[in-house]
Amino acid sequence: MATQAANPVLTATFFRDDTVALVARPTEYAIVVRCWYDTMEDIPLPDTGDPLDRQLERGEYGITSFTNGQRAILKESDILLKDRAFRPGDVVKQNLTDVMSGIVTGTHCEVMLEHAITKQPLQGWVDVQYVELDTEVAPGDYVIYGNWIGTTFEETTCVTSAGKPSRIAEPGAHFLIGEKTTLMLSQEILDPRYLAFLGNQERVVIAIKPMAVAISWLAINQSLPPAQAASIPRPKRNWTGRELNELQRFVSTNYDSHRIMERVRFKDLEVARRRGVRPAVFPINRNTSISVDTLIVADTRMTVTVLWQDGTSSLHLSTNLVPHANIDEYDCWCVSRLLCHSESDWYTRPGDQVMYKDEDGPQAVVVQKAFPTHRIMEVMLSKDGTIQTVSALEVDPQGPLPSIYGVRQGDMVLINLENNGEAPPIVPRLGEIEPWTKTAGDGKNGWRTELAKLGLQALNRPDSGDGSLGRANMVEWVGEVITNRLDGRIEVMLPSGNTVIHPLNKLSLLIDDVDEMQLGDWFEAEEGEEGDDEMMDIEEARSDWSEGSWETVDHAEHDKDWAAEDEEEEPPVIDISQPDDVEMNGGEEPVAPGGFAQPSLERRPVVEPTPTPPRSAAVSPPPPPTLAEAPADSPNWERFVIQEQCPPDHFFANKESAVPGKAFLGRLQKEYKVLQSSLPETILVRAYEDRTDLLRCLILGPDNTPYEDAPFVIDWYLEPTFPQTPPLAHFHSWTNGNGRVNPNLYEEGKVCLSILNTWSGDRSESWSAARSSLLQAFVSIQGLVLVKEPWYCEPAYEKLRGTAEAEVSSRLYSEKAYVLSRGFVRHALEQLPGGLEAEVQWHYYDKGVLAKVIRDVIDLIAKSVSEPEGSTAPSDRAIPRLTMGGILPLRRTLTKLQAILDARTTPADAT
């Protein structure tokens, strides 16, 4: 292919958060913050002057230096991998082309250290179990007060500097021990006498202490009787000085990684002495001095324990593993939950409690083992403890939002007094992000200003003292998930470090994601604002960022069709005094009922848009429709028909119908004429005399795609403002809750397409009354959605075409699409779509397409069974072979399809 020749195979080498060394300066380390293959790389960046504010080319990475904070974009050849940090629960592979992945179950990190002040290095690697972060408290830490748990949202710190010793209150953790600073702050925060004392002298930070902390309280102890819990008030937000002694800090011990340039200290002073740590002593006055034993992490290395999908476990250097960056929906391990391949990737692993969905309905199961090459799992049925082998394509690890299935290693959970009220695998989510955390908090009376003043007051009161938080050693009602046991029980680590084991229904998942909650609120605040493409409904935003970029057919040629018709037929007279007749579309020219651009009062000519080629090199748009003579349809297969009544199973049948205006009816007449003459043979459309605002289309899957011979039924609603606004679409998804059949076609019925304005594509690809048509929408779905390699429809995935890992992911996705779409044939024959009953039966029975589908399935299964597992023999077929995970559900579908065909060919009165 030309595209592949221009872009040779290039595999991702570096990943976000990798520690790298610069080839030009090997002793200078940096962290990778952007990668050329990231999904978000397709979103335009504002020009802020930041060196990273441009789109990355293939093979480029954005980095931030640990040494001086400088940011730059470098080529892959300019950097070397130094270390790669993983957390327990991360999904990894030994090679991106491997099918099998694993879960990190444990990490072990060693560090090289040097003194923060003297820069004196310690000899040899130090196990991080002997050190801890040199902080009293930091934003995001869990804190406990009585029967409440919260998270630190902001702090004010006291900074003590060397030179002329001084103390200063500063909001936020902006200083690091050992760094040089002039300590110049704004007068609104800093007492003027300190400004006069310090001037612009450079000083070295020697100590940082918390003076005031703002805490967002998340949840109350769930092991209390309800009446008692209701009587305990929420603690206050701000804590200062010695008040901090009343708070307890929950420090996780499940993650032992440290970053270069982090400040740490030895937990045991005797161990520090034996390792050669010599504190730096700074006299404050005749009787007081500060001893600094803070260390800087100068280098890191990590080894990780990995539990592989086949149940084996092994130890690896982290740099010999790669994160599973392009996780497929049904990659045995995971289902993407919110933003595709971001902070919300979900996956299944041994011990996880998930839902298995087959012909008998959903069943709660506990995963025992996974076989990724075969795409099958061994699960224990929760109802009776029996072990069963199932297809990974029929396992749902997530549940419909907002439900959550099970808990995962690293989750914070509340331990309930009694049953949490849900049947496994569902786990309730508890916790409340307080409203004040969702505001900037700046300004004269903002909460951040208030916190800074409290810190300064505590600093200036001799009796207030420096605060320090204790450890929550006696708390037993909250903890961190350590292990999911194969019997379905959960091992939880308490703040004391002790572990307890509970069944799933004794736990609730603590909601603590402030960033996610704020993101949702910001989107909701902007919802419905016109002209703002960046801020939209949260579900639409998630779709835009993670679910697909859908091109439409070329508009330019289609404009000629409307223009040609304009020559044949005079458009209706437009009464500009009636808003129903003329609507404005964004900032475009007014559009007449027939769909023709109309000059404004200033008589400016309408400028034809420049055609925009499809972004996907793999997708060739279908030919534009032409106003040819109506095709000679079979009496049993009429492409466009206006029926008397809308069928009751139409999704929009119960939607109130408005009285159509002249513009609506005039445009609809033209749309009908084009549909009657230009529909391809594989698309049927039904309109209705009693509901001119509704349509239904049946689109057949194109040959040599995963969707071949499958029926796709989509219902359409034309709003009274049509054609100024695009039609609304609802896709009938018949996947039995087992995921999407295509990245564009959602289970809940959403159709993601630029021309429908459900994806924010280029302006020339969006709906326009002057350029777009219903035919264009129908043909776009068939030609640009139901494609041979649907995986590449995901945003930014097209740029991965030609990489080895993308080929694996694409092949697995296409198999899933094929298996699910065979079920569409079965569903359409068992529950005939209204208004298309005769056509569906004629197509599949009389024309013999059902028999062909059955033969194709039988042949493909036989070919897959006969070939060795993992065969990669070249083939031009969309589905060259199946895994066992695809064969299992497909055999059940095959049995049902054969029974349907046998019943049809057997006389009804046979005995």
CATH number of the domain residue 851 falls in: 3.10.110.10
Name residues whose C-beta falls within 8 Å of residue 814's C-beta, 6 or more positions apart in sequence. Answer: 706, 788, 789, 790, 791, 878, 879
Of 52, 84, 116, the residue that ends a domain is: 84
- Using omega within 30 degrees of 0 as the cis cutoff, is the peptide bond preceding 402 cis? yes
Question: Closest by alpha carbon to 301, among 265, 254, 260, 255?
Answer: 260
Amino acid of residue 449: T
Q: Is residue 373, in this structure, part of any structural domain at all? A: no
Q: Compute the Cα dihedral for 644, 645, 647, 650 and give only its sign.
A: positive
Bridge partners for 109 per DSSP: 302
Give the per-residue pLDDT at 554.
41
Exposure string of 817-826, with b = 16+ CB inside 10 Å and e = fewer, is bbbbbbbbbb
718 in Cβ contact with 739 (< 8 Å): no
User: Which runs of consecutive H residues, i.e. helices, occur in 709-848?
Assistant: 774-780, 804-830, 837-841
Residue 61 and residue 73 in contact, taking contact as beta carbons nearer than 8 Å = yes
Instruction: Give the whole-angstrom CA distance, residue 406 versus residue 353.
Output: 5
Tell me the three state secondary structure of residue 636.
coil
**Cα–Cα–Cα angle for 586, 589, 593, nearest 5°?**
100
How far is residue 427's CA from residue 354's CA, in Å, rounded to a whole number? 11
């009585």: which residue's tokens? Answer: 146
pLDDT at 46: 65
Residues ≥6 apart with Cβ < 8 Å to 904:
845, 850
793 counts as catalytic: no
3-state secondary structure of 303: strand
624: its two tokens: 């534009």
Asked if residues 387 and 380 have their Cβ atoms less than 8 Å apart, the reply is yes
From residue 792, alpha-carbon distances to 34, 546, 615, 782, 836 in Å are 21, 12, 11, 16, 32
Per-residue confidence (pLDDT) for residue 465, from 0 to 100: 57
CB count within 10 Å of CB 224 equals 16
Residue 331's pLDDT is 42
Choose the final residue of a domain: 84, 102, 127. 84
Total number of domains in the chain: 2
Residue 152: φ, ψ to 5°: -70, 125
Regions of the chain where pLDDT drops below 70: 1-11, 39-48, 158, 163-174, 182-202, 253-257, 284-285, 309-311, 325-348, 401-402, 442-444, 462-467, 513-633, 760-764, 796, 868-874, 906-911
Q: By the 8 A CB rule, do 367 and 348 touch? A: yes
Q: How far apart are CA 813 and CA 740, in angstroms?
A: 10
Q: What are phi and psi of 785, to 5 degrees?
A: -110, -50
By the 8 A CB rule, do 688 and 772 touch?
no
d(CA 48, CA 70): 15
* pLDDT at residue 425, as a whole number: 92
Neighbours of 387 (CB within 10 A): 12
Residue pointed to by tokens 């835009």: 544
Which residue type sits at 863?
K
Q: What local confidence, expressed as pLDDT, does residue 6 receive? A: 40
Residue 16 in domain: yes
Boundary (domain end) residue, out of 63, 84, 105: 84
Of 487, 502, 662, 643, the residue nearest 572 (C-alpha): 662
**CA dist., res. 116 & res. 679, Å (int):** 74
CA atoms within 13 A on the CB side of 264: 29
Tell me how many helices (H) and strands (E) the chain has: 14, 41
d(CA 887, CA 879): 12
Predicted local distance difference test score (pLDDT) of residue 358: 81
CA distance 549 to 615: 9
CA neighbor of 99 nearest in space, from 780, 826, 712, 812: 812
Burial class (CB in 10 A: 0-12, 13-18, 19+), 829: buried
Q: Tell if the pTM clears 0.85, that is, is over it.
A: no
Tell me the Cα Rg of the chain: 32
Q: CA-to-CA distance for 793 and 787, rounded, in angstroms?
A: 9
AA letter at 538: I
Expressed as residue numbers, the domain containing 661 is: 640-904
Instruction: Confirm whether 232 is domain-assigned.
Output: no
> Which of 706, 815, 869 is closest to 374 using CA atoms?
869
Contact 815, 790 (CB under 8 A): no
Q: What is d(CA 358, CA 389) in angstroms, rounded to the nearest whole number? A: 12
75, 290, 341, 396 from 206: Cα distances, Å:
38, 8, 41, 52
Query: DSSP character for 55?
Result: P
Q: Which of the 8 DSSP states describes residue 634?
A: B
Angle between helices 555-568 and 662-678 (to 10 degrees): 110
Q: Are 26 and 12 in contact (CB under 8 A)?
A: no
28 phi and psi angles, rounded to 5 deg: -100, 125
d(CA 504, CA 526): 38
Q: Which residues contact 650 (CB under 8 A, 6 or more apart)?
A: 694, 696, 715, 834, 835
Task: Give the span between the Cα atoms of 3 and 504, in whole angstroms.
Answer: 50
Omega before residue 723 within 30° of 0, cis = yes
Query: What is the pLDDT at residue 827?
Result: 97
Task: Check residue 880 and give its pLDDT.
Answer: 92
Q: Given 35, 334, 340, 752, which residue is catalytic?
A: 752
The reply to whether 839 falls in a domain is: yes
Q: What is the dihedral of CA 128, 131, 137, 143, to 10 degrees?
A: 70
What's 46's domain CATH number?
2.30.30.140
Q: How far apart are CA 348 and CA 395, in angstroms?
A: 9
The amino acid occupying position 566 is D
The Cα–Cα gap between 182 and 116 comes to 18
Rounded CA gap, 151 and 138, in Å?
A: 9
23 Cβ contact partners less than 8 Å away, ≥ 6 residues apart = 77, 78, 79, 80
Q: Among candidates 135, 114, 110, 134, which has minimal Cα distance to 123?
A: 114
pLDDT in the model for residue 12: 75
3-state SS of the chain: helix, strand, coil percent to 5? Answer: 25, 25, 50
Distance of CA 725 to the CA centre of its chain: 29
The pLDDT of residue 871: 58
Name the residue with tokens 């119908």. 657
Lookup: tokens for 70: 């400088």
List, in order, residues 6 or more apart from 382 with CB less than 8 Å away.
353, 363, 364, 365, 366, 424, 425, 488
Q: Let me know if residue 775 belongs to a domain.
A: yes
Contacts of 360 (CB under 8 A, 6+ apart): none
- With respect to residue 563, please indicate whether it lies within any of the assigned structural domains: no
Which pair of structure tokens corresponds to residue 586? Answer: 């964004």
Q: Which of 835, 676, 703 is CA-nearest to residue 782? A: 703
d(CA 231, CA 229): 5
Provide the pairing of β-strand 289-292 with 280-283. Answer: antiparallel
In a domain, 366, yes or no: no
Residue 583 lies in a domain: no
